[in-house]
Each structure stands twice: as C-alpha cells, then as structure tokens.
Amino acid sequence: MTARADHIPVLLDEVIRSLAITPGAEIVDGTFGAGGYSEAMLRSGARVYAFDRDPDALLEGADLAGRYEGALRLYAACFSIMDRALTEDGVNAVDGVVLDIGVSSMQLDRAERGFSFQKDGPLDMRMSRDGESAADFVNTADEADIANIIYRYGEEHRSRRIARAIVAARPLSTTAELAATVRKAVGHKPGAPKDPATRTFQAIRIHINSELDELTQALDAAERLLRPGGRLVVVTFHSLEDRIVKQFFRERSGGAGNVSRHMPLTQTKGPEPTFAKAEKAVRPTKAELDRNPRARSATLRAATRTSALPWAQQEIAA
C-alpha cells in the first residue's frame, strides 16, 4: 500500500525539494509516521533510514519496506538516537535528515490512542505505548506540577485554574473527561474558533513524550550524522518547536554572536559554524491548506551542513 489515504504529508513537495535528493542518496526520515515522506524519497531514488517510536507506525510500514527491496530500513527507536543506531548498523554519515515534529494524523485520528478530544478514548497520549500515560500524570502529579507543565508547554496563562480543576475532578480516565474539566474551569462557548482544552492537551502530550528534549537531542544527532553538504529539513507545528529549531540554526550558522552555549565563558572565539545560514522559512500554500487544514500551523526550516566538526567535538579539541 502507499502512504495511508487518510494521512496527507504536510509540505511534501517542499520537503522533497529542500532535501535536493540525488539517486542513491542516504536520507534519514526521523518521523516515519504513515510513511508519506519516506515513500516520496524512495521514489526520488533515495535509500531511507526511517525512525519511529510508535509500534503501530512500524508495523504498518512493513509493506512499504518490502516493496522497495531493502531501500527502506525501519528502526524502532526515537530520532534522538539516530546517529548511534545507524553507526551500530554500519552507517556513519548520511546526505539528509528530515524531521516532522509532533503528533501524527494517524495518532490523532485513533481514539484509542488518547491524543485528541475530538473522539472520546482512554487518556493515554504515549507515542511509544509504554511509560507514564496522560492518565497517570493528571491523576498523581502535584497541582503545582500540573500547572507548570500546562503553562510551559501549552503557553496557557490560565494554567493554575485548570490544574486546580483537574485535581478536584480526579480520577480522570478519558479524553472527554479531561476536556470537559478544562472547559468548565475556563469557560467555553460552543462554536468558538478554538477549544480551550487544546493547549492543555498539547502540554500534557509534550510532557508525556519529552518532545522538546527529544527535538533538541535530534538536532544535535543530525549535526553529527550529516555529511558536508548534507541537508537538514525540519517541519514544526507550534511556536515552542519552531523556536528551538530557529535558535539551533541561528547558533550553528554563527548567527548568535559566534558564542557556543557548550563552551566555557572564558572562550573568546566560538566554534566554526556547522551549518550554512538557514533559508527563509516556508509555510503552506493556500492550495495545500484547502486540501489539508491541519497544515495551517506548519513551518519548514532547512539548512546545509558545512565541513566543520560537530560543536561537541570542537569543544573537546579546544
């Protein structure tokens, strides 16, 4: 089968164009999901190493891997360890890395995964299906911790009121219960353009899956893995993710005063840039938004790897 019909890859043409794939190029798809990017890269003649921590995604990707006779290799792992996993497999460098950050459509659309309140389901939200669930968190965490998570990762200024309501409503076991609790706490007018539960769900999901830490580590891993001239392409869907990516490219291209956050304060000369200056951010066209409203908040950023050693190695050498 091709990439699932109910999943439309966001900014697909722009991603493929940004990767500048040549026949035989080795590309990492750090977020395999429904396989949309991977299949397009395979059609362009690439050899693809695809990562996903969601066992459902890998199971459903087995058919695609079989049809491309070894050109697609699937890894049941977080993208934060892509360089380590590939090195253990004899792959020491690649020509491109693409990361599509956040929750996938196939996760959102399956009520049993507990990512969305559009359909009632168990309060889960775990991408890897193991570890602490969203229900575990909201039913056991301190009120202050819940408020801090909602404020930090949801950018929700009513976080204390919401946390207080969550604690009072415990135990919560379904997405509908959590959404109703948030709406009652902050007030909700049916038909409003944005459901007030959205930010809380985003925050809890990011916390449960350590998404921002994973992203930061993945960017460092891509820096270590890319060959000179290799391309790093990242698609984000909200400001917290995009801020991390934008800052990474700015720092690693020497645009932050050429000072490394990894270097001692006494260091007078910063490390050599590991990326050329990032290109202008790309947003979806109106035509794409008409086809796929979920693309509305997507931002693509891309840059080319230089020949400089990764920053961590430059620190050691210094």
- Tell which residue, 302, 304, 305, has the closest CA to residue 234: 302
Among the ranges given (5-14, 104-113, 246-255), the one the predictor scored with the smallest mean pLDDT: 104-113
Q: Which helix (H) or strand (E) holds 144?
A: helix 143-154
Query: Which pLDDT score, from 0 to 100, does residue 205 have?
Result: 94
Q: Given this model, what pLDDT does residue 104 score?
A: 66
Mean pLDDT, range 47-72, rounded to an integer = 91
Q: Which pLDDT does position 264 carry in this prediction?
A: 55
Tokens read off for 167: 């604690």
Q: Which long-range contacts (CB under 8 A, 24 or more apart) does 132-135 make?
A: 132/208, 133/208, 134/178, 134/204, 134/205, 134/208, 135/171, 135/172, 135/173
pLDDT of residue 3: 45
Those residues with Cβ within 8 angstroms of residue 280's Cβ, 6 or more apart along the chain or in another chain: none
Would you say residue 7 has pLDDT above 60?
Answer: yes
Question: What percentage of the chain reaches a pLDDT higher than 70?
Answer: 91
pLDDT tens, 130-188?
Answer: 999 999 999 999 999 999 999 999 999 999 999 999 999 999 999 999 999 999 999 88
Q: What is the mean pLDDT of residues 218-223?
A: 98
286-301: pLDDT as tens digits: 999 999 888 889 999 9
- The span from the CA of 105 to the CA of 34, in Å, is 8
Q: Provide the pLDDT for residue 315.
A: 79
The overall pTM is greater than 0.75? yes
Model confidence band, residue 318 (pLDDT cutoffs 50, 70, 90): low
pLDDT score of 103 more than 70 = yes
pLDDT exceeds 90 at position 256: no
- Tell me the CB-side half-sphere exposure of residue 144, using CA atoms within 13 A: 0
- Asked if 285 and 13 touch (Cβ cutoff 8 Å), the reply is no
pLDDT of residue 40: 96
- Per-chain mean pLDDT for the chain: 90
**Pick the residue with more confidence: 9 or 282?**
282
Question: What pLDDT sits at residue 106?
Answer: 67
276 compared with 7, residue with greater pLDDT: 276
pLDDT of residue 74: 96
Report how far residue 317's alpha carbon sits from residue 92's, in angstroms, rounded to the nearest whole number.
21
* Residue 1 reports pLDDT greater than 70: no
pLDDT above 90 covers a percentage of the chain that reads 75
pLDDT-derived band of residue 258, with 50, 70 and 90 as boundaries? very low
Domain architecture of the chain: domains with CATH: 12-106+211-317 (3.40.50.150), 129-208 (1.10.150.170)
> Residue 2: what pLDDT?
43
Of residues 118 and 30, more confidently modeled? 30
pLDDT score for 4? 45
